[in-house]
Amino acid sequence: MINSEYVEMLEHKDIIFELAAYANQRRAEVGPENVFDFSLGGPSVPPPIEVHQALQELIEEGDISVMHRYTPEGGLFETKSMIAKDLNTRFGSSFTADNIFMTCAANASLSHAMRAVAVPGEKIMTFAPCFSEYEYYVKGAGCELVIVPADTETLNINFDEAWKMLDENVAAVLINSPNNPSGKVYDTETIKKLAELLTMKSAEYGKAIYLISDEPYREIVFSDTDSPFISNYYDNTIVCYSFSKSLSLPGERIGYVAVNPKADNADLLVSMFAQISRTSGHNGAPVIWQRVLAKILPCTSDLSVYETNANLLYNALTEYGFEVVKPGGSFYMMPKIPGGDLDAFMKKALDNDIIVVPGDGFMCPGHFRLAYCVPTERVERSLERFKNLL
Ligand SMILES: Cc1ncc(COP(=O)(O)O)c(C=O)c1O
């Protein structure tokens, strides 16, 4: 017998990939330069040169048999030490290699964190607008995703609702800043308010409510944006990171989980991750990429294009009359749908070969997501077409 759960999932088509496929079709029909595809969140800049130099060095260093071996549980000590040192230097934290566990990117990091702090049947709470895949990540852990509705004016955390919804069945709260899909970066005041909520509710229910901080866009923060290191404000934090965006390596599957050393059961949690790897099939982050990281951290791609694109789009769209919260980071923004009619808007957008994603899948109806991880000349040439959508 086959597993009907996954058969049923086939019905839940991924609208983002459908739109991206449509964009490909249009590229073939009208030429790639005439399609303005803002659907997919894949980095548009290449990895830094250091990545390829490090790969070259590894090959030249020559010990091929060692290079491809299994790593110790949780990853190479030198890579984990580099990560801890980098975090401590930049954020004044006190991680050691023992607090870090290497993973196959953010999806796997979240998978480990959720399974470690929530048992099947418990709830994991997050805030809209949120990443559309969370539903499946949480389901995979056997838990129920509870989504606090968006504050649609600010796209900030809706604390009034969060206080009401955080009941004793919530094992963990999942946060993503800089945010996909909104580009929102939660400021220090917001993170302090969240820490207060979690501290009070943990005391009320007599248990640690963990904060799972999904940070694949941590390095993509724009000028003058207050972007606190979340783990510094709440001890029971598990940081989930990926090099998919900061080093433009989404296909290589490399990231880590970092447990705040002051968290309840910090050491036990890291040991548990090794067991979760065994059972979830996510074991063994790629060793070559761990070795590359050990050579190049804290290097990143040149991420400046995302801010350039954000400014161009934000300035033009607001001038034309779109309502949009200014993004502080990542490579997304979420304007409101002018007039509020999704179908009419999507038709008009597609007629203009502008491909954007409806906000519904991100639990933020009435909005659309723009992924501006595209070449800047494409953004510039798209602006006239956005005018047509009003
Ligand atoms: C908010 C968020 N979390 C997690 C992921 C998964 O990242 P990865 O491909 O590194 O597993 C993504 C990917 O786009 C994302 O946007």
Report the CATH number that the domain containing residue 323 is assigned in CATH: 3.90.1150.10
Distance (angstroms) between ligand 1 centre and the Cα of 219 equals 14
- Measured in angstroms, how far is the CA atom of residue 283 from the centroid of ligand 1? 18
Domain shared by 191 and 85, yes or no: yes
181 CB near ligand 1 (under 6 Å): no
Which one-letter DSSP state was computed for residue 213? E
Q: Which of 253, 268, 296 is the last residue of a domain?
A: 296
- Do 261 and 340 lie in one domain? The reply is no
Inter-CA distances, 329 with 40, 171, 335, 353, 355, Å: 16, 28, 15, 26, 21
Residue 242 in contact with ligand 1 by CB distance below 6 A: yes
CB 26 within 8 A of CB 35: yes
**Ligand 1 atom nearest to CA at 106:** 11
**Does residue 221 share a domain with residue 190?**
yes
Residue 127 contacts residue 281 (beta carbons within 8 Å): no
* Distance (Å) from CA 280 to ligand 1 centroid: 18
Claim to verify: residue 90 and residue 174 sit in the same structural domain: yes
Q: Band of the pLDDT at 36, cuts 50, 70, 90?
A: very high
Q: Check residue 358 and give its pLDDT.
A: 97
Whether the CB of 214 sits within 6 Å of ligand 1: yes
Compute the average pLDDT of residues 71-84.
95
Is residue 141 within 8 A of residue 115, CB to CB? The reply is yes
Q: What residues contact residue 99 under an 8 Å CB cut-off, 6+ apart?
A: 84, 258, 259, 260, 261, 266, 270
Residue-number span of the structural domain to which 374 is assigned: 4-47+302-388
Ligand 1 atom closest to residue 179's alpha carbon, by position in its atom list = 1
* Final residue of a structural domain among 250, 271, 296: 296
Give the residue whose CA is nearest to atom 8 of ligand 1. 106
How much is the average pLDDT of 283-306?
96
User: How are beta strands 255-259 and 100-103 bridged, if at all?
Assistant: antiparallel
| Average pLDDT score over residue span 110-117 | 98
Report how many domains make up the chain.
Answer: 2
Q: Using one digit for the tens of pLDDT, what is the confidence trace for 143-186?
A: 999 999 999 999 999 999 999 999 999 999 999 999 999 999 99
CATH code for the domain of 287: 3.40.640.10
Given 232, 264, 296, which residue is the final one in a domain? 296
* pLDDT attached to residue 58: 92
359 lines ligand 1 (CB under 6 A): no
Helix (H, G, I), strand (E, B) or coil at 332: strand
Give the per-residue pLDDT at 281. Answer: 84
- Do 13 and 88 lie in one domain? The reply is no
Q: Is 131 a pocket residue for ligand 1 (Cβ < 6 Å)?
A: yes
State whether 31 and 66 are in the same domain.
Answer: no
